[in-house]
Structure 1
Amino acid sequence: LGDDHNRKGFRQRSNLITHMRQVHTGERPYSCHYCGKCFKLKGHMTEHIRTHTGEKPFSCHICDKSFNRGSTLRKHVLAKHKEERPYKCGDCDELFTERLLMKRHMRKVHDGNK
């Protein structure tokens, strides 16, 4: 599947449709049922709706502060907790800011121990 305008190829039809929407057609098929604002991508609409509902599904694992976007949480962790590393590898004592990063380290470095 391809875009004849700029010769990009896509393996999945959904990726081509998303590309066409974002770059070429200007179509905005997703609308907020609170205020009517329209979006090209469903994910962008979902993030926007959280401004109306107050939902904050992304929580900091260090201080439990919550955010409506994952990107805002990542910025928070870097700005407020860049020196804090509460997760410690049991094999080599290396410290990590996130449990997931520690587990990934253990799989790669210590062959999945623990």
Structure 2
Amino acid sequence: MKKSNRMSKVVPAGMASITLMMQLENGLARKRARGVSHWMCRQCNYTTRHRGHLNQHMVVHSGKRPFVCHLCPMAFSRRATLANHVQLHDRDKKFLCRFCPMAFNIKSALDQHINTHLAP
């Protein structure tokens, strides 16, 4: 039997590489399986190999949306998501509303908009 210094339980030496290891650090759980580390969110099922990615992810749970689009009222928790959104404004708008002059580059956005015309 071999005891890992990161685990509180004893595991057989041959099982050490496949044993799931749990460790609490800053309120976040770290899991190691087959030598690969995964950082896990304690509020949802998100996992990543990089702690920095988990720190960025945690903003989602805070509800804060500091990155606001300068072309519309949309706001986002991550700068990269805002950048992707802004690109949507630049694309050709081939989905035209039949009730007003609005145009959209995504059909689902047009469908959602049309519902505003049809709602009582």
| TM-score past 0.5 threshold | no
Q: Which has the larger radius of gyration?
A: 2
TM range (shorter): 0.3 to 0.5
TM-score (norm 1): 0.37
* More helix as a share of residues: 1
